[in-house]
Every structure is written in structure tokens, then in C-alpha cells.
Amino acid sequence: MMQLYPALDLINGQCVRLRQGDFDQRTEYHLNPVDQALNYQRQGAEWLHLVDLDGARLGHPVHLKILKQIAGYGLKVQTGGGIRDHDHLQQLFEAGAERVVIGSLAVKEPMQVQSWLQEFGPERITLAFDVRLDEAGLPRLATAAWRETETITLDEITRQFLPTGLKHVLCTDIGRDGELSGPSLALYQAYKQQFPQVALQASGGIHALADLTALQQAGVDGAVMGKSLLDGLFTLEEALQCLQDG
């Protein structure tokens, strides 16, 4: 069954959602992140996807205390935001992170990130590849909080990391992030056909239980869900039941 990752994005210790990564287009949710994580755990969550948006902006982990609290309750936490060096990785692992998510740095400093994959092992690191589809439909990577678009494609960077043991990839189609317009099924299907050995997590656009069924049928290994759960379009319990039934 496809793994579900309920997501919490944090600014100043508060749960928020950004529209297409824009800090000026922010929805704030008056929720305690630890309480919300425990709510997801009660509904059956094994994992939580925790995004440190302050860390991403400042270039170092900020919400280590919240991470430690959540991990202390037994939830497996996949977290990222602001990882620039080896010390940042160590801080997150020591605070209880099960997996650390690395994004732009994998594009900008691939040799450094390859060395971390070899040091910590492929189960401890998820590479986050955020893509924009160009005019030809090729998924080109976006970096620097989505302000820059690179020439390298999703397939090219995956091939670059496979020899160092790449296992987990989180792929966001930026055009669908926060839009509740449905996931980028064709993109994910093509990727899984080319790289069946990679555990692919889909992010962006999920707005209905049918989206989850479609992702599972497309062979996607995991789905990250933020806005759909926080806005009450369905519950995590309903999502898990849907995948079991389908």
C-alpha cells in the first residue's frame, strides 16, 4: 500500500501553507503543530512530513524543538528546510528525524550530497526534486525556493545520484502545489517506468480520495498531503481506508 505523509509546514512555530512556495501567499492555520501531529498519529499515520520554512529561508534548521517533541511520540519524521552542511544533518538526526529531505543543495552541490548518501545510507535521506514542465513537457528542476529554473531535468539528476545509492525521491510539480488541481500523474508514471528502483513520493495538487487511488495505481510509493488535510477535504483515516479498499 502506498505510504501517506501528512505534511506540516512551519513558520514561527505555526502551521502554514504557501501557494507555489510564495511566502507572501500564505495561509495560516491556528493549530499547535505537536497536537496536529498527534492527531494524525491517532488516525493511523506512521510518518509525518515536517517542513521548516524558516530554516529554508535562513539557511539552517530552526524548529529542532518541535521536531524532537513530535519524534518523541513515536512518529517517524521526514523533515527538511535549510540544510546546508554536515552539522545541520547531524542536528536533525540527533533531534529524532528518521529521514532528512535535501532539495536545492542536491542540484547545486551534488558531490557533497552524494557523500552524505554514502555516509548515512539511502534510507536516511530523501532528495526533493521540485520541477517545472517546460514547453516540451520536460521536467526541469527549480531551486532557490523555486526562484531559479535549472537546465538539468528530473531524469538526468536521478541518473547522477543512482550510483551512490539513491532510494527516496520526493517530486513536486510546482504548477500544482497548493492548487488542489490534481496530481501530475503522467509525470509520476513516466518516472516510475524509468526508475522502478526509486521509492517515489508525489507532492502537489492532491484534493480528493480519487487522486490517491490514481497515484497508487500509477505505482507511486508515497504521497505527501498538506492543504487537502488541513482544509478538511478528507481525513487521513479516510485516505488510509481508501487505499486499503483500492
Radius of gyration of the chain (CA): 16
What is the DSSP annotation of the chain? --EEEEEEEEETTEEEEEETTEEEEEEEE---HHHHHHHHHHTT-SEEEEEEHHHHHHTS---HHHHHHHHTTT-EEEEESS--SHHHHHHHHHTT-SEEEE-HHHHH-HHHHHHHHHHH-TTSEEEEEEEEE-TTS-EEEEETTTTEEEEEEHHHHHHHHGGGT--EEEEEEGGGTTT-S---HHHHHHHHHH-TTSEEEEES---SHHHHHHHHHTT--EEEESHHHHTTSS-HHHHHHHHHH-
* pLDDT of residue 194 exceeding 90: yes
Rounded Cα gap, residues 87 and 68, in angstroms: 17
pLDDT digits (tens, 9 = 90+) for 3-34: 999 999 999 999 998 876 677 778 899 999 99
Rounded Cα gap, residues 228 and 4, in angstroms: 13
* pLDDT of residue 178 exceeding 70: no
- Can you read off the three cell numbers belonging to residue 146? 523555486
**From 52, 54, 87, 130, active-site residue:** 130
Work out the number of other CB atoms within 10 angstroms of the CB of residue 62.
21
Rounded Cα gap, residues 95 and 67, in angstroms: 6
**From 9, 173, 177, 221, active-site residue:** 9
State mean pLDDT over 100-105: 94
Task: List the Cα angle 67/97/84 in 5-degree steps.
Answer: 90
State mean pLDDT over 45-53: 97
Q: Is residue 9 annotated as part of the catalytic site, yes or no? A: yes
Taking the CA atoms of residue 5, residue 67, residue 127 and residue 103 in that order, the dihedral angle to the nearest 10 degrees is 120
pLDDT digits (tens, 9 = 90+) for 210-238: 999 999 999 999 999 999 999 999 999 99
- Domains of the chain (ranges; CATH) run 3-245 (3.20.20.70)
Predicted local confidence at residue 22, as pLDDT: 72
- Residue 3: φ, ψ to 5°: -80, 135
* pLDDT of residue 147 exceeding 80: no
Predicted local confidence at residue 11, as pLDDT: 96
For the chain, give the percent of residues with pLDDT over 90: 81
Q: Residue 210 CA to chain centroid, in angstroms?
A: 20
Q: Give the predicted TM-score (pTM) of the model.
A: 0.95
Predicted local confidence at residue 47, as pLDDT: 98
CB 69 within 8 A of CB 41: no
* 92-101 residues labelled b (16+ CB within 10 A) or e (exposed): beebbbbbbb
Q: Is residue 52 annotated as part of the catalytic site, yes or no? A: no
- Can you read off the three cell numbers belonging to residue 83? 540544510
* pLDDT of residue 135 exceeding 90: no
